[in-house]
Chains A and B, each alone.
Chain A
Amino acid sequence: MTNPISRAYWKSNIKILVSLLSIWFIVSFGFGILWSEELDQIKIGGFKLGFWFAQQGSIYIFVILIFIYVFLMNRLDKKYKKDISQETPE
């Protein structure tokens, strides 16, 4: 990628991916599996917290993550298009 604006776009994209995928990993592999037993000590209603993350919570957060991604990328796309059109005045 020779164009600096395109490079910046890709860098921001990667930053978004890394932060969202970290949350993805923490709620499923972290809360649902690796630290699940520790979280099970906490109880909310009839749910042990680790069990709830494994069978319910992680799924809700997955849905939210995708929509945050859609929002952030749409904003980034708009900014990129604006920058590109300023860069090359006809």
Chain B
Amino acid sequence: MSTQELTYLFVGLSFALYIGIAFWSRARSTSDFYVADKGVNPIANGMATAADWMSAASFISMAGLIAFMGKDGSVYLMGWTGGYVLLALLLAPYLRKFGQFTVPDFIGTRYYSKAARLVAVLCLIFISFTYVAGQMRGVGIVFSRFLEVDINQGVLIGMIIVFFYAVLGGMKGITYTQVAQYCVLIFAYLVPAIFISILITGNPIPQLGFGDTLVNSQTYLLDKLDRVTVDLGFIAYTENIKTNLDIFCITAALMFGTAGLPHVIVRFFTVPKVSDARKSAGYALIFIALLYTTAPAVGSFARVNFIDSVQGLEYAEAPSWFKNWEGVGLIAWNDKNTDGMIKYQAGNTFKDGRPKFLDALGPSGERLTSNISENSNDNEIYIDRDIMVLANPEIANLPGWVIALVAAGGLAAALSTAAGLLLVISSSISHDLLKKIIKPNITDKQELFYARISAAIAIFIAGLFGIYPPGFVAQVVAFAFGLAAATIFPALFLGIFTKSINKEGAISGMLSGLIFTFSYIIFFKFISPDLDNAANWIFGISPEGIGFVGMIINFLTSILVSRFFQAPSQNIIELVDKLRLP
């Protein structure tokens, strides 16, 4: 069978499995729909959390980012795993003890205020939609490259699949499909990584292979990578480019942001007991670490392979993957010295960012662009970092079924995260807005109906994001984590670990963190992107790391403002006392 047919087969089989599970685990009550009736086994919940958490960004983009960022890429590795320690120790068990359905539920009850609940709902919806947009783009890329269907049709198919198990099954359906999706995605990630590790270092364990010597040589892989990157004019692969302070703040923003992401927190509402919530966070991190410790190995292999397989080659001789991705528009070759040879070095090849392809071919048969050439360096290659994981099996000449598997894995990662996000959006609308604020008299059955309607509407909006992708998806990812760190995390933490923070303190804290982080990112990413460099940042902290500063502002504001208003009532103090006991 051809790679194309295998891809159809693998993707088709995995989709059939997801729909089958959706029918088997339909939701019958709001408790089923919101928190899977609190009956999920901690190991299954760990897998579901891992699939929920590992998105198209983790599966498709992260190793590619690390391949090109080198040691700076550690911010993602530590940031996106270290948050689970915070979650397990500081939030999950207490929120499970609280025992309601949503994150705004906790904030609204603990701070005895509908306004606090509303602020939490707004933050949650903003964070979740930002995230969903990225997933739908991932679905589009996989479909267009591997199944050669139009991106729009790809998004539409993705929407229909998610619709089935999210609207029918709610949290229950999502949980069990996520367990299946985790298995698909981790298998699809590890198989090519193991193959490539054996090819490059002879070591079958990528985590060790990447610290091992190259096949038939005494040179360590990382030493070679350091030497090659320096020779090409980059900073050595294992050294930092960013300042320590910036790396510190980005890592912290990602960690606290992870702990404050509503779709992750809500997963811990689904297990039977408090002790299960703790255990479940541990399992989730094991399942996540399996991918996250493989990713830096994959990144270093990809960088070596990429340089080795194109550097100094005549374009006419370039491997087929190079031309395939050029066809999709994610690689471009700009033959600056018109010698017909591919030259890869440090620096941008174009002055104006992404390639804008013309409808014409150059002398060697390459796609021409209308971009302005950057002539201060000799680099002739534009490469979108997002393609490294998807292209890796082809670069390493792996068999067709591995390539097909990676396509199915990428879709599993994107769909599982999209479904989790859509669920928290719909439950915050039907439960927090409708039931708790606007129409408190609706019955359980009506609420379930509204939850399904809002899930359907949320899927529709997410689909629109995928079909008409807002150009700013990459920029706004910093938003999701920055805002979660600056708004939701402090409100939850203070709600559990202090009794003195009152509603005035919490609301002003969330708003100050929100406004500060929001304006900083908007300013540097949208109003004056030309000023977005270390010289203009406050203390040299990039917009990606500013959420950490926003979080500190939130903490200080909450504590200070609370002193000027009446302390929480005896009921609230008793509630906090109860949360703290097993």
Contacts and interface: CB of A to CB of B under 8 A. Distances in A.
Contact of B282 (A29, A51, A67): A67
Contacts of A55: 66, 71, 73-74, 77, 296
Nearest to B224: A46
B248 A29 contact: yes
Given A34-B244, A55-B74, A10 B82 contact: no
Contacts of A63: 282, 285-286, 289
B577 A6 contact: yes
B77 A54 contact: yes
Given A21-B89, A29-B251, A32-B78, A66 B285 contact: yes
A46 B582 contact: no
Counting chain A residues whose Cβ lies within 8 A of the other chain, the interface size class is 35 or more
B88 A69 contact: yes
A47 to B, nearest CB: 4
Interface residues of B, number: 47
B220 interface: yes
Where chain B touches its partner, the secondary structure class is helix
A40 B85 contact: no
Contact of A45 (B84, B212, B282): B212
Nearest to A47: B211
Contacts of B286: 63
Contacts of A1: 577, 580
Main secondary structure of the interface of A (DSSP, over half): helix
Interface in B291-337: 292-293, 296
Contacts of B281: 66
Interface string B59-92: 0000000100001011001100110111011100
Contacts of B278: 66, 69-70, 73
B89 A20 contact: yes
Contacts of A58: 77-78, 81-82
Interface of A: 1, 6, 9-10, 13, 17, 20-21, 24, 28-29, 32-34, 36, 40, 44-48, 51-52, 54-56, 58-60, 62-63, 65-67, 69-70, 73-74, 76-77, 80-81
4 closest Cβ pairs, A-B complex: A46-B220, A54-B74, A66-B282, A46-B211
Given A21-B85, A58-B78, A69-B278, 7 more contacts: A10-B580, A21-B89, A44-B211, A46-B223, A55-B71, A66-B282, A69-B89
29 contacts: A10-B580, A17-B89, A20-B85, A20-B89, A29-B248, A29-B251, A34-B248, A44-B211, A45-B211, A46-B222, A46-B223, A51-B238, A55-B296, A56-B293, A59-B289, A59-B293, A60-B289, A62-B81, A63-B282, A63-B289, A66-B85, A66-B88, A66-B89, A66-B278, A66-B281, A67-B282, A73-B93, A73-B275, A73-B278
